[in-house]
Structure 1
Amino acid sequence: MRTIALWSPLPSGSGITALAASLPVVLAMEFKLKTLLLHGGESGGRVEQAYSLHNQSLDHSLVTFQDHGMNAVDRLASSGRLMPENIRDYTASLLPERLDLLGGSRETKSESVETLPCLMTQVIETAVRGYDLIVADAGNGTPNAVDQAILNAADLILVGINQNLRSLEMIFENELLLDVIQGKPSGMIIGRYDRSSHCTVQNVKRRFGVKGILEGIPYCSQLTDAWNTRTVLTCIQRGRGGMDRKRESPLYQALRSTSLAAVEQLGLPSAGYSERGA
Protein backbone atom coordinates (compact mmCIF):
# COMPACT_ATOMS: atom_id res chain seq x y z
CA MET A 1 0.00 0.00 0.00
CA ARG A 2 1.91 3.02 -1.28
CA THR A 3 -0.39 5.41 -3.13
CA ILE A 4 -2.23 8.38 -1.60
CA ALA A 5 -4.78 10.23 -3.74
CA LEU A 6 -6.05 13.67 -2.75
CA TRP A 7 -9.44 14.67 -4.11
CA SER A 8 -12.32 16.97 -3.23
CA PRO A 9 -15.98 16.68 -4.26
CA LEU A 10 -16.15 20.49 -4.05
CA PRO A 11 -15.40 22.49 -7.21
CA SER A 12 -13.20 24.85 -5.16
CA GLY A 13 -12.54 26.14 -1.68
CA SER A 14 -11.19 22.99 -0.04
CA GLY A 15 -7.49 23.77 -0.48
CA ILE A 16 -6.90 20.21 -1.72
CA THR A 17 -4.36 21.19 -4.40
CA ALA A 18 -2.29 23.19 -1.92
CA LEU A 19 -2.42 20.21 0.42
CA ALA A 20 -1.35 17.87 -2.38
CA ALA A 21 1.66 20.11 -3.01
CA SER A 22 2.56 20.45 0.69
CA LEU A 23 1.92 17.02 2.17
CA PRO A 24 4.60 15.11 0.21
CA VAL A 25 7.23 17.61 1.35
CA VAL A 26 6.47 16.73 4.97
CA LEU A 27 6.23 13.01 4.22
CA ALA A 28 9.62 13.07 2.54
CA MET A 29 11.30 15.12 5.28
CA GLU A 30 9.75 13.55 8.38
CA PHE A 31 9.57 9.91 7.37
CA LYS A 32 12.55 9.69 5.01
CA LEU A 33 10.25 8.21 2.36
CA LYS A 34 11.34 8.39 -1.27
CA THR A 35 8.23 10.06 -2.67
CA LEU A 36 6.83 10.75 -6.14
CA LEU A 37 4.29 13.55 -6.62
CA LEU A 38 2.08 13.52 -9.71
CA HIS A 39 -1.33 14.74 -10.83
CA GLY A 40 -4.09 14.15 -13.37
CA GLY A 41 -4.09 17.63 -14.90
CA GLU A 42 -2.29 19.33 -17.75
CA SER A 43 1.35 20.32 -17.78
CA GLY A 44 1.97 23.42 -15.68
CA GLY A 45 -1.29 23.06 -13.75
CA ARG A 46 -2.36 21.92 -10.31
CA VAL A 47 0.54 21.09 -7.97
CA GLU A 48 3.09 22.22 -10.55
CA GLN A 49 2.01 25.80 -9.83
CA ALA A 50 3.47 25.48 -6.34
CA TYR A 51 7.04 25.16 -7.57
CA SER A 52 9.33 27.19 -9.80
CA LEU A 53 9.99 24.38 -12.26
CA HIS A 54 10.21 26.09 -15.60
CA ASN A 55 12.82 28.64 -14.57
CA GLN A 56 15.49 26.26 -13.35
CA SER A 57 17.70 23.58 -14.82
CA LEU A 58 16.88 20.04 -13.80
CA ASP A 59 19.90 18.26 -12.34
CA HIS A 60 22.08 20.14 -14.84
CA SER A 61 20.86 17.74 -17.52
CA LEU A 62 21.32 18.37 -21.22
CA VAL A 63 17.60 17.88 -21.74
CA THR A 64 14.95 20.51 -21.13
CA PHE A 65 11.78 20.35 -19.09
CA GLN A 66 9.90 19.51 -22.30
CA ASP A 67 11.68 16.16 -22.20
CA HIS A 68 10.18 15.46 -18.80
CA GLY A 69 6.70 14.68 -17.53
CA MET A 70 3.92 12.41 -18.74
CA ASN A 71 4.64 12.93 -22.44
CA ALA A 72 8.21 11.71 -22.08
CA VAL A 73 7.04 8.78 -19.96
CA ASP A 74 4.42 8.01 -22.60
CA ARG A 75 7.16 7.58 -25.17
CA LEU A 76 8.90 5.13 -22.87
CA ALA A 77 5.70 3.18 -22.31
CA SER A 78 4.94 3.06 -26.04
CA SER A 79 8.34 1.53 -26.74
CA GLY A 80 8.11 -0.92 -23.85
CA ARG A 81 10.98 0.74 -21.96
CA LEU A 82 9.06 2.13 -18.98
CA MET A 83 10.79 0.71 -15.90
CA PRO A 84 10.87 1.65 -12.17
CA GLU A 85 14.51 2.71 -12.45
CA ASN A 86 14.04 5.16 -15.33
CA ILE A 87 10.87 7.05 -14.33
CA ARG A 88 12.97 9.31 -12.13
CA ASP A 89 14.96 10.49 -15.17
CA TYR A 90 11.83 12.27 -16.40
CA THR A 91 10.88 14.01 -13.16
CA ALA A 92 11.86 17.29 -11.50
CA SER A 93 13.78 16.78 -8.26
CA LEU A 94 12.28 18.87 -5.44
CA LEU A 95 14.24 17.32 -2.57
CA PRO A 96 17.36 15.41 -3.71
CA GLU A 97 16.97 11.65 -3.32
CA ARG A 98 13.73 12.26 -1.44
CA LEU A 99 10.96 13.96 -3.47
CA ASP A 100 10.37 14.06 -7.25
CA LEU A 101 7.58 15.63 -9.30
CA LEU A 102 6.26 14.11 -12.50
CA GLY A 103 4.68 16.83 -14.62
CA GLY A 104 1.35 16.53 -16.42
CA SER A 105 0.63 15.95 -20.07
CA ARG A 106 0.80 18.69 -22.70
CA GLU A 107 -1.38 16.78 -25.15
CA THR A 108 -4.99 17.89 -25.60
CA LYS A 109 -5.86 15.89 -28.73
CA SER A 110 -8.83 13.58 -28.27
CA GLU A 111 -6.82 10.47 -29.14
CA SER A 112 -4.26 11.37 -26.48
CA VAL A 113 -6.95 12.05 -23.89
CA GLU A 114 -8.33 8.57 -24.46
CA THR A 115 -4.97 6.92 -23.76
CA LEU A 116 -3.96 9.02 -20.74
CA PRO A 117 -5.97 7.04 -18.12
CA CYS A 118 -4.25 3.81 -19.15
CA LEU A 119 -0.90 5.58 -19.11
CA MET A 120 -1.54 6.95 -15.61
CA THR A 121 -2.40 3.47 -14.36
CA GLN A 122 0.76 2.07 -15.91
CA VAL A 123 2.89 4.87 -14.45
CA ILE A 124 1.56 4.29 -10.93
CA GLU A 125 1.95 0.52 -11.17
CA THR A 126 5.54 0.99 -12.33
CA ALA A 127 6.48 3.81 -9.95
CA VAL A 128 5.39 1.93 -6.81
CA ARG A 129 8.29 -0.45 -7.47
CA GLY A 130 10.80 2.41 -7.46
CA TYR A 131 9.40 4.76 -4.81
CA ASP A 132 8.38 4.25 -1.19
CA LEU A 133 5.30 6.40 -1.69
CA ILE A 134 3.25 8.08 -4.41
CA VAL A 135 1.15 11.17 -3.69
CA ALA A 136 -1.30 12.08 -6.45
CA ASP A 137 -3.56 15.11 -6.92
CA ALA A 138 -6.86 13.82 -8.31
CA GLY A 139 -8.47 17.24 -8.63
CA ASN A 140 -11.88 18.61 -7.64
CA GLY A 141 -15.47 17.72 -8.42
CA THR A 142 -16.49 14.85 -10.67
CA PRO A 143 -13.22 13.10 -11.60
CA ASN A 144 -12.11 13.10 -15.22
CA ALA A 145 -10.85 9.83 -16.71
CA VAL A 146 -7.23 10.39 -15.61
CA ASP A 147 -8.23 11.41 -12.09
CA GLN A 148 -10.47 8.34 -11.90
CA ALA A 149 -7.49 6.18 -12.83
CA ILE A 150 -5.58 7.74 -9.92
CA LEU A 151 -8.46 7.10 -7.52
CA ASN A 152 -8.79 3.52 -8.72
CA ALA A 153 -5.11 2.91 -8.05
CA ALA A 154 -5.07 4.64 -4.65
CA ASP A 155 -4.54 2.73 -1.42
CA LEU A 156 -5.72 5.74 0.61
CA ILE A 157 -7.97 8.61 -0.51
CA LEU A 158 -7.83 11.89 1.40
CA VAL A 159 -11.00 13.89 0.71
CA GLY A 160 -10.87 17.68 0.92
CA ILE A 161 -13.82 19.39 2.60
CA ASN A 162 -14.48 22.77 4.26
CA GLN A 163 -16.34 24.15 7.28
CA ASN A 164 -19.49 25.16 5.39
CA LEU A 165 -22.28 23.04 6.89
CA ARG A 166 -24.43 23.30 3.76
CA SER A 167 -21.54 21.98 1.68
CA LEU A 168 -20.86 19.21 4.17
CA GLU A 169 -24.50 18.14 4.14
CA MET A 170 -24.44 17.91 0.35
CA ILE A 171 -21.17 15.98 0.40
CA PHE A 172 -22.32 13.34 2.84
CA GLU A 173 -25.71 13.00 1.15
CA ASN A 174 -24.23 12.80 -2.36
CA GLU A 175 -23.55 9.41 -3.93
CA LEU A 176 -20.47 10.88 -5.67
CA LEU A 177 -18.45 10.55 -2.47
CA LEU A 178 -19.36 6.88 -2.07
CA ASP A 179 -18.73 6.22 -5.76
CA VAL A 180 -15.25 7.74 -5.56
CA ILE A 181 -14.19 6.10 -2.31
CA GLN A 182 -15.50 2.67 -3.42
CA GLY A 183 -14.92 1.13 -0.04
CA LYS A 184 -11.24 2.12 -0.03
CA PRO A 185 -9.49 3.39 3.11
CA SER A 186 -10.14 7.12 3.23
CA GLY A 187 -9.89 10.21 5.40
CA MET A 188 -11.33 13.70 5.52
CA ILE A 189 -9.21 16.86 5.47
CA ILE A 190 -10.76 20.22 6.36
CA GLY A 191 -8.89 22.81 4.35
CA ARG A 192 -8.37 26.42 5.48
CA TYR A 193 -9.46 25.32 8.92
CA ASP A 194 -10.55 27.98 11.42
CA ARG A 195 -10.15 26.72 15.00
CA SER A 196 -12.48 29.45 16.32
CA SER A 197 -15.39 28.25 14.17
CA HIS A 198 -18.18 26.23 15.80
CA CYS A 199 -17.75 23.72 12.97
CA THR A 200 -14.74 22.05 14.62
CA VAL A 201 -13.16 18.71 13.77
CA GLN A 202 -14.92 17.07 16.71
CA ASN A 203 -18.31 18.57 15.80
CA VAL A 204 -17.97 17.37 12.20
CA LYS A 205 -17.11 13.88 13.48
CA ARG A 206 -20.18 13.79 15.70
CA ARG A 207 -22.65 15.33 13.27
CA PHE A 208 -21.70 13.27 10.22
CA GLY A 209 -20.42 10.12 11.89
CA VAL A 210 -16.95 10.41 10.40
CA LYS A 211 -14.68 7.51 11.34
CA GLY A 212 -10.94 7.34 10.95
CA ILE A 213 -8.80 10.20 9.69
CA LEU A 214 -10.24 13.71 10.07
CA GLU A 215 -7.70 16.53 10.19
CA GLY A 216 -7.92 20.31 9.97
CA ILE A 217 -5.30 22.20 7.96
CA PRO A 218 -5.37 25.84 9.13
CA TYR A 219 -5.43 28.75 6.74
CA CYS A 220 -1.94 30.19 6.36
CA SER A 221 -1.30 33.51 4.61
CA GLN A 222 2.37 32.57 4.20
CA LEU A 223 1.34 29.50 2.21
CA THR A 224 -0.98 31.61 0.05
CA ASP A 225 1.87 34.01 -0.70
CA ALA A 226 4.22 31.10 -1.33
CA TRP A 227 1.76 29.62 -3.81
CA ASN A 228 1.62 32.92 -5.69
CA THR A 229 5.42 33.09 -5.86
CA ARG A 230 5.91 29.35 -6.49
CA THR A 231 7.92 28.94 -3.28
CA VAL A 232 5.77 26.39 -1.43
CA LEU A 233 8.75 24.10 -0.85
CA THR A 234 10.66 26.82 1.00
CA CYS A 235 7.54 27.82 2.95
CA ILE A 236 6.99 24.28 4.24
CA GLN A 237 10.65 23.84 5.13
CA ARG A 238 10.64 27.08 7.13
CA GLY A 239 7.45 26.03 8.86
CA ARG A 240 9.29 23.12 10.46
CA GLY A 241 10.98 25.63 12.73
CA GLY A 242 14.47 24.19 12.61
CA MET A 243 15.71 20.80 13.72
CA ASP A 244 14.37 21.32 17.24
CA ARG A 245 11.01 22.62 15.92
CA LYS A 246 10.95 25.42 18.47
CA ARG A 247 9.36 27.69 15.86
CA GLU A 248 7.14 25.08 14.23
CA SER A 249 4.15 26.71 12.56
CA PRO A 250 0.53 25.60 13.13
CA LEU A 251 0.39 24.71 9.42
CA TYR A 252 3.40 22.43 9.64
CA GLN A 253 2.10 20.83 12.82
CA ALA A 254 -1.19 20.01 11.07
CA LEU A 255 0.63 18.66 8.00
CA ARG A 256 2.81 16.54 10.25
CA SER A 257 -0.22 15.13 12.05
CA THR A 258 -1.91 14.35 8.73
CA SER A 259 1.26 12.72 7.41
CA LEU A 260 1.54 10.49 10.46
CA ALA A 261 -2.11 9.44 10.16
CA ALA A 262 -1.60 8.57 6.48
CA VAL A 263 1.60 6.62 7.09
CA GLU A 264 -0.03 4.62 9.87
CA GLN A 265 -3.07 3.91 7.70
CA LEU A 266 -0.86 2.63 4.89
CA GLY A 267 1.28 0.55 7.22
CA LEU A 268 4.48 2.26 6.06
CA PRO A 269 7.57 2.36 8.29
CA SER A 270 7.89 5.43 10.50
CA ALA A 271 11.18 4.57 12.20
CA GLY A 272 12.75 7.87 11.14
CA TYR A 273 9.91 9.93 12.54
CA SER A 274 10.23 11.84 15.79
CA GLU A 275 7.39 13.30 17.88
CA ARG A 276 9.76 15.86 19.34
CA GLY A 277 8.29 19.32 19.17
CA ALA A 278 4.72 18.06 18.90
Structure 2
Amino acid sequence: MALAYPERILLFNEDHAGAGVESGFSFHEHACGGNIQPLTEYGMDALRRLAANQRLTSRNFSDYTYPLIKDKLDLVSGFGLQEKQEQFESEKMPRPLYDVAEQVYDMIFTRSIYPSDCTDRPIRVAVLRQNRLELERFFDEFSNGDQASPLADAIVLQRYDPASHWSAVNIRRRFECKIFLYPVPHSTEFMDAWNNRNILKFFRLHRLMSNKGSQKQGMLPSLMSLSEGLHELAAGRTGTARNGKRGA
Protein backbone atom coordinates (compact mmCIF):
# COMPACT_ATOMS: atom_id res chain seq x y z
CA MET A 1 0.00 0.00 0.00
CA ALA A 2 2.85 2.39 0.80
CA LEU A 3 4.20 1.89 -2.73
CA ALA A 4 0.84 2.60 -4.37
CA TYR A 5 -0.78 5.39 -2.34
CA PRO A 6 0.42 8.84 -1.22
CA GLU A 7 -0.61 8.48 2.42
CA ARG A 8 1.98 8.22 5.17
CA ILE A 9 1.64 4.84 6.88
CA LEU A 10 2.78 3.47 10.24
CA LEU A 11 3.20 -0.20 11.16
CA PHE A 12 2.70 -0.55 14.92
CA ASN A 13 4.13 -3.76 16.40
CA GLU A 14 2.46 -4.78 19.66
CA ASP A 15 4.63 -7.90 19.89
CA HIS A 16 8.25 -8.52 20.95
CA ALA A 17 11.01 -6.70 19.07
CA GLY A 18 11.88 -8.73 15.99
CA ALA A 19 8.59 -10.64 16.02
CA GLY A 20 5.25 -10.02 14.38
CA VAL A 21 5.07 -7.57 11.52
CA GLU A 22 8.72 -6.52 11.77
CA SER A 23 10.15 -10.02 11.30
CA GLY A 24 10.04 -9.60 7.52
CA PHE A 25 12.33 -6.54 7.49
CA SER A 26 16.11 -6.38 7.68
CA PHE A 27 16.67 -3.25 9.78
CA HIS A 28 17.50 -5.35 12.86
CA GLU A 29 20.42 -6.91 11.02
CA HIS A 30 21.91 -3.50 10.27
CA ALA A 31 21.27 -2.16 13.76
CA CYS A 32 22.23 -5.26 15.73
CA GLY A 33 24.84 -7.01 13.59
CA GLY A 34 22.40 -9.72 12.56
CA ASN A 35 21.04 -10.47 16.03
CA ILE A 36 17.64 -9.39 17.35
CA GLN A 37 18.46 -7.37 20.45
CA PRO A 38 16.36 -4.90 22.43
CA LEU A 39 16.95 -1.41 21.05
CA THR A 40 15.30 0.65 23.75
CA GLU A 41 16.23 3.98 22.13
CA TYR A 42 13.68 3.19 19.42
CA GLY A 43 10.27 1.59 19.21
CA MET A 44 7.69 0.83 21.85
CA ASP A 45 9.98 1.08 24.87
CA ALA A 46 11.26 4.53 23.94
CA LEU A 47 7.82 5.85 22.99
CA ARG A 48 6.31 4.65 26.25
CA ARG A 49 9.04 6.37 28.26
CA LEU A 50 8.47 9.62 26.40
CA ALA A 51 4.72 9.38 26.85
CA ALA A 52 5.10 8.65 30.57
CA ASN A 53 7.27 11.76 30.93
CA GLN A 54 4.86 13.81 28.79
CA ARG A 55 7.62 14.44 26.25
CA LEU A 56 6.07 12.61 23.31
CA THR A 57 4.78 14.96 20.60
CA SER A 58 3.85 14.84 16.94
CA ARG A 59 7.18 16.52 16.19
CA ASN A 60 9.40 13.84 17.71
CA PHE A 61 7.28 10.69 17.30
CA SER A 62 8.89 9.65 14.00
CA ASP A 63 12.38 10.05 15.48
CA TYR A 64 11.74 6.84 17.45
CA THR A 65 10.47 4.75 14.54
CA TYR A 66 12.32 2.86 11.81
CA PRO A 67 11.89 4.45 8.34
CA LEU A 68 11.20 1.59 5.92
CA ILE A 69 10.29 3.83 2.97
CA LYS A 70 11.37 7.44 3.43
CA ASP A 71 8.43 9.73 4.25
CA LYS A 72 6.00 6.93 3.35
CA LEU A 73 6.30 3.95 5.67
CA ASP A 74 7.61 3.80 9.25
CA LEU A 75 7.59 1.02 11.81
CA VAL A 76 7.32 1.08 15.60
CA SER A 77 9.42 -1.83 16.81
CA GLY A 78 7.99 -4.05 19.53
CA PHE A 79 8.91 -4.54 23.14
CA GLY A 80 12.50 -5.29 24.01
CA LEU A 81 11.91 -6.16 27.66
CA GLN A 82 9.49 -8.74 29.06
CA GLU A 83 8.41 -6.59 31.98
CA LYS A 84 7.56 -3.79 29.57
CA GLN A 85 5.26 -6.07 27.62
CA GLU A 86 3.56 -7.32 30.78
CA GLN A 87 2.97 -3.72 31.83
CA PHE A 88 1.63 -2.89 28.37
CA GLU A 89 -0.76 -5.86 28.38
CA SER A 90 -2.08 -4.94 31.81
CA GLU A 91 -2.93 -1.49 30.52
CA LYS A 92 -4.30 -2.78 27.21
CA MET A 93 -3.72 -0.41 24.30
CA PRO A 94 -1.21 2.44 24.76
CA ARG A 95 -3.72 5.15 23.89
CA PRO A 96 -1.31 8.11 24.27
CA LEU A 97 0.96 6.55 21.65
CA TYR A 98 -1.87 6.09 19.18
CA ASP A 99 -3.27 9.55 19.87
CA VAL A 100 0.05 11.15 18.92
CA ALA A 101 0.65 8.79 15.99
CA GLU A 102 -2.70 9.77 14.49
CA GLN A 103 -1.45 13.36 14.30
CA VAL A 104 1.52 12.24 12.18
CA TYR A 105 0.29 9.38 10.01
CA ASP A 106 -2.64 8.98 7.65
CA MET A 107 -3.01 5.26 8.31
CA ILE A 108 -1.87 3.03 11.19
CA PHE A 109 -1.76 -0.75 10.94
CA THR A 110 -1.49 -2.99 13.98
CA ARG A 111 -2.38 -6.49 15.10
CA SER A 112 -4.20 -5.86 18.32
CA ILE A 113 -6.17 -8.06 20.71
CA TYR A 114 -7.78 -4.99 22.27
CA PRO A 115 -9.53 -3.19 19.38
CA SER A 116 -12.53 -2.12 21.47
CA ASP A 117 -10.39 0.21 23.58
CA CYS A 118 -9.92 2.68 20.74
CA THR A 119 -11.61 6.04 21.14
CA ASP A 120 -12.46 6.09 17.44
CA ARG A 121 -13.50 2.67 16.21
CA PRO A 122 -10.77 1.34 13.92
CA ILE A 123 -11.21 -0.61 10.72
CA ARG A 124 -11.07 -4.24 11.79
CA VAL A 125 -9.78 -6.96 9.49
CA ALA A 126 -10.20 -10.62 10.44
CA VAL A 127 -7.50 -12.90 9.01
CA LEU A 128 -8.93 -16.39 8.64
CA ARG A 129 -8.17 -19.71 6.96
CA GLN A 130 -10.35 -21.95 4.81
CA ASN A 131 -11.11 -23.93 7.92
CA ARG A 132 -14.72 -24.87 8.63
CA LEU A 133 -14.55 -24.68 12.42
CA GLU A 134 -12.68 -21.38 12.35
CA LEU A 135 -15.15 -19.88 9.88
CA GLU A 136 -18.20 -21.13 11.77
CA ARG A 137 -16.88 -19.74 15.03
CA PHE A 138 -16.13 -16.36 13.47
CA PHE A 139 -19.47 -15.94 11.71
CA ASP A 140 -21.36 -17.10 14.80
CA GLU A 141 -19.65 -14.40 16.86
CA PHE A 142 -20.12 -11.89 14.04
CA SER A 143 -23.86 -12.49 13.68
CA ASN A 144 -24.43 -12.37 17.44
CA GLY A 145 -22.25 -9.31 18.02
CA ASP A 146 -23.02 -5.63 18.30
CA GLN A 147 -24.03 -4.45 14.83
CA ALA A 148 -23.06 -0.88 15.73
CA SER A 149 -19.52 -2.11 16.41
CA PRO A 150 -19.08 -5.25 14.30
CA LEU A 151 -16.38 -7.82 14.88
CA ALA A 152 -14.81 -7.04 11.50
CA ASP A 153 -15.19 -4.71 8.52
CA ALA A 154 -13.34 -7.06 6.19
CA ILE A 155 -12.08 -10.62 6.01
CA VAL A 156 -8.80 -11.86 4.56
CA LEU A 157 -8.56 -15.54 3.66
CA GLN A 158 -4.86 -16.27 4.04
CA ARG A 159 -3.00 -18.95 2.04
CA TYR A 160 -6.10 -19.22 -0.12
CA ASP A 161 -6.65 -22.32 -2.26
CA PRO A 162 -9.08 -21.52 -5.11
CA ALA A 163 -9.61 -25.24 -5.79
CA SER A 164 -11.04 -25.85 -2.31
CA HIS A 165 -14.77 -26.40 -1.85
CA TRP A 166 -14.49 -23.67 0.77
CA SER A 167 -13.94 -21.01 -1.86
CA ALA A 168 -14.59 -17.31 -1.30
CA VAL A 169 -17.83 -17.55 -3.28
CA ASN A 170 -19.06 -20.56 -1.30
CA ILE A 171 -18.05 -19.01 2.02
CA ARG A 172 -19.92 -15.84 1.15
CA ARG A 173 -23.01 -17.82 0.16
CA ARG A 174 -22.94 -20.26 3.10
CA PHE A 175 -22.54 -17.61 5.80
CA GLU A 176 -24.44 -14.83 4.01
CA CYS A 177 -21.34 -12.69 4.29
CA LYS A 178 -22.04 -9.03 3.48
CA ILE A 179 -18.67 -7.50 4.32
CA PHE A 180 -15.47 -7.26 2.29
CA LEU A 181 -13.91 -10.66 1.63
CA TYR A 182 -10.40 -10.90 0.17
CA PRO A 183 -8.74 -14.22 -0.71
CA VAL A 184 -4.93 -14.02 -0.70
CA PRO A 185 -3.22 -17.11 -2.19
CA HIS A 186 -0.07 -18.66 -0.79
CA SER A 187 3.21 -17.51 -2.37
CA THR A 188 6.44 -19.43 -1.96
CA GLU A 189 8.44 -16.39 -3.09
CA PHE A 190 6.76 -14.22 -0.48
CA MET A 191 7.40 -16.81 2.24
CA ASP A 192 11.08 -17.02 1.32
CA ALA A 193 11.41 -13.23 1.16
CA TRP A 194 9.79 -12.93 4.59
CA ASN A 195 12.09 -15.51 6.13
CA ASN A 196 15.08 -13.76 4.55
CA ARG A 197 13.84 -10.40 5.93
CA ASN A 198 13.79 -9.08 2.40
CA ILE A 199 10.13 -8.24 2.02
CA LEU A 200 10.59 -4.70 0.72
CA LYS A 201 12.74 -5.92 -2.17
CA PHE A 202 10.11 -8.54 -2.94
CA PHE A 203 7.32 -5.97 -3.25
CA ARG A 204 9.43 -3.52 -5.25
CA LEU A 205 10.49 -6.23 -7.70
CA HIS A 206 7.00 -7.63 -8.20
CA ARG A 207 5.50 -4.16 -8.48
CA LEU A 208 7.81 -3.51 -11.44
CA MET A 209 6.81 -6.86 -12.95
CA SER A 210 3.14 -6.00 -12.46
CA ASN A 211 3.61 -2.64 -14.20
CA LYS A 212 5.03 -4.51 -17.19
CA GLY A 213 1.94 -6.69 -17.30
CA SER A 214 3.78 -9.95 -16.66
CA GLN A 215 1.76 -10.88 -13.58
CA LYS A 216 -2.01 -11.18 -13.93
CA GLN A 217 -2.99 -13.37 -11.00
CA GLY A 218 -1.72 -14.71 -7.70
CA MET A 219 -0.77 -13.14 -4.42
CA LEU A 220 0.29 -9.68 -5.62
CA PRO A 221 -2.94 -8.79 -7.48
CA SER A 222 -4.89 -10.06 -4.46
CA LEU A 223 -2.91 -7.79 -2.16
CA MET A 224 -3.47 -4.88 -4.51
CA SER A 225 -7.22 -5.52 -4.35
CA LEU A 226 -7.02 -5.71 -0.56
CA SER A 227 -5.06 -2.45 -0.41
CA GLU A 228 -7.63 -0.73 -2.60
CA GLY A 229 -10.48 -1.90 -0.40
CA LEU A 230 -8.80 -0.86 2.84
CA HIS A 231 -7.90 2.48 1.31
CA GLU A 232 -11.55 3.07 0.44
CA LEU A 233 -12.67 2.06 3.92
CA ALA A 234 -10.14 4.38 5.51
CA ALA A 235 -11.19 7.22 3.25
CA GLY A 236 -14.78 6.71 4.31
CA ARG A 237 -16.02 6.31 0.75
CA THR A 238 -17.71 3.02 1.56
CA GLY A 239 -18.27 0.99 4.70
CA THR A 240 -19.87 -2.20 3.38
CA ALA A 241 -19.36 -4.40 0.39
CA ARG A 242 -21.16 -3.28 -2.72
CA ASN A 243 -24.08 -5.71 -3.07
CA GLY A 244 -22.04 -8.14 -0.99
CA LYS A 245 -19.62 -8.77 -3.85
CA ARG A 246 -16.63 -6.60 -3.09
CA GLY A 247 -13.31 -8.41 -2.93
CA ALA A 248 -14.36 -11.91 -3.97
Please confirm whether the aligned pair reaches a TM-score higher than 0.5, indicating the same fold: yes
Structure 2 residue 216 is matched with structure 1 residue 241? no
Whole-Å separation in 2 of the counterparts to 1:176 and 1:107:
39
For 2:13 and 2:144, the matched residues in 1 are separated by 20
Greater radius of gyration (CA):
2
1:79 maps to which of 53, 73, 79: 53
Q: Give 1:114 shift.
A: 5.3
> Kindly tell me: are residues 245 and 124 of structure 1, through their superposed partners in 2, closer, same or farther at Cα, counting changes over 3 Å?
farther
Give 1:171 deviation, angstroms.
Answer: 2.2
Q: How does 1:162-177 map to 2 (within 5 A)?
A: 162-174=129-141
Which residue of the partner structure matches residue 267 of structure 1?
235
- The structural deviation recorded for 1:172 is 1.8
Query: Structure 1 156/235 Cα, relative in aligned 2: closer, same or farther at 3 Å?
Result: same
Where in structure 1 do 4 or more consecutive aligned residues deviate above 3 Å? 113-116, 147-154, 174-179
Q: CA deviation at 1:156?
A: 0.5
Between the aligned residues of both structures, percent identity stands at 26
Whether the 8 Å contact between 2:125 and 2:155 is mirrored in structure 1 is yes
Structure 2: runs of 5 or more not aligned: 33-37, 238-248
Q: Tell me which residue corresponds to 1:13.
A: none
Structure 1: runs of 5 or more not aligned:
1-26, 59-63, 270-278
CA contact (8 A) 2:126 2:152 kept: no
Are residue 69 (structure 1) and residue 43 (structure 2) matched?
yes
RMSD over equivalenced CA pairs, Å: 2.9
Report 1:97-246 matches (<5 A): 97-109=71-83, 112-113=87-88, 117-118=92-93, 120-138=94-112, 143=113, 147-148=114-115, 154-174=121-141, 178=145, 182-183=149-150, 186-242=153-209, 244-246=211-213
Q: Please give the secondary structure, in 1, of the residue aligned with 2:157.
A: strand
- Aligned residues between the structures: 230
Residue 169 of structure 1 deviates from its aligned partner by 1.4
- Structure 2 Cα separation of the partners of residues 165 and 184 of structure 1: 18
For the 8 Å contact 1:155–1:184, the answer to whether it is kept is: no
Contact 1:171 1:177 in 2 (8 A): no
Equivalent residue, structure 1, for 2:4: 30
Give distance in 1, aligned partners of 2:164 and 2:154: 21
Rounded Cα–Cα distance in structure 1 between residues aligned with 2:214 and 2:171: 29
Q: Normalized against structure 1, the TM-score is what?
A: 0.73
Shift of 1:175: 6.8
CA distance in 2, matches of 1:115, 1:167: 28
Q: Answer yes or no: is the 8 Å Cα contact 1:151–1:157 preserved in 2.
A: no
TM-aligned CA distance change 1:161 to 1:185, over 3 Å = closer
Letter in 2 for 1:196: A
What corresponds to 2:35 in structure 1?
A: none
RCO comparison, higher one (Cα < 8 Å, 6+) = 1
Equivalent position amino acid for 2:130 in 1: Q
- The alpha-carbon deviation at position 243 of structure 1 amounts to 7.2
**AA matched with 1:113:** F
Tell me if structure 1 keeps the 8 A contact 2:115–2:122.
no
Indicate the residue corresponding to 1:257 in structure 2: 225
**Partner amino acid, structure 2, of 1:136:** T
- Provide the secondary structure at the position in 2 that maps to 1:125: helix
2:246 matched to which residue of 1? none
Q: Deviations over 1:44-95 (max 9, x none)?
A: 211111111212259xxxxx94310011111211121111121110111111
